[in-house]
Amino acid sequence: MTDSSTVARAVDRLFRIAEGDELRSLSGLAEALARDRGRPLVICEGPDLPARVFGQWVRHADHDEVKYASWVHARERTIAHELGHIVLNHVGRPAIELALEALPPESHGLAALMLERDCDNVRSPEEVDAEAFGNLLLRRLKGGRHVNRSPGIRSRLDEAFG
């Protein structure tokens, strides 16, 4: 698990690389991240997500994809969490995804049953960090709508004054 200052610095950096209107929305920050990484980033509903999976980051050869479940109520929170995985350079990949790629279709149900896990049980350090990133990112974004300074300016001031 990363310390909270590393997560805060990652959020600060995302606001620093964003330009103009990108600073005003989650989709704008995602655009800034894609530009910074030099890789397109697609955010879309993921109808193929397994049960109890709110969202997922999929790294393709030529682009990144953030999927969110159609039933999820906190779509922005889910997207911010997945952006956290990208920004924090996480490499984890769900075991079920690997199993479904490797196994024949007739074994998919059994693999899903065997690999089913409750999200409230033991959480990986990457999940804890991505959740902290998403929470802080959304808090700063929402705070920027209610104060005179943009979150990008606040991030730069926070960095300058420690």
Domain boundaries, the chain: 4-161
How many Cβ atoms from other residues are within 10 Å of residue 134's Cβ? 25
The structure's pTM equals 0.74
- Strands (E) located in the chain: 41-45, 55-59, 64-68
d(C-alpha 41, C-alpha 19), whole Å: 17
Angle, vertex CA 154, rays to CA 134 and CA 66, nearest 5: 25
The helix (run of H) or strand (run of E) holding residue 119 is none
Angle, vertex CA 26, rays to CA 5 and CA 35, nearest 5: 85
pLDDT tens for the chain, 162 residues long, are: 677 899 999 999 999 999 999 999 999 999 999 999 999 999 999 988 877 889 999 888 899 999 999 999 999 999 999 999 999 999 866 667 767 777 888 888 877 777 664 444 446 788 899 999 999 999 999 985 434 455 556 555 555 554
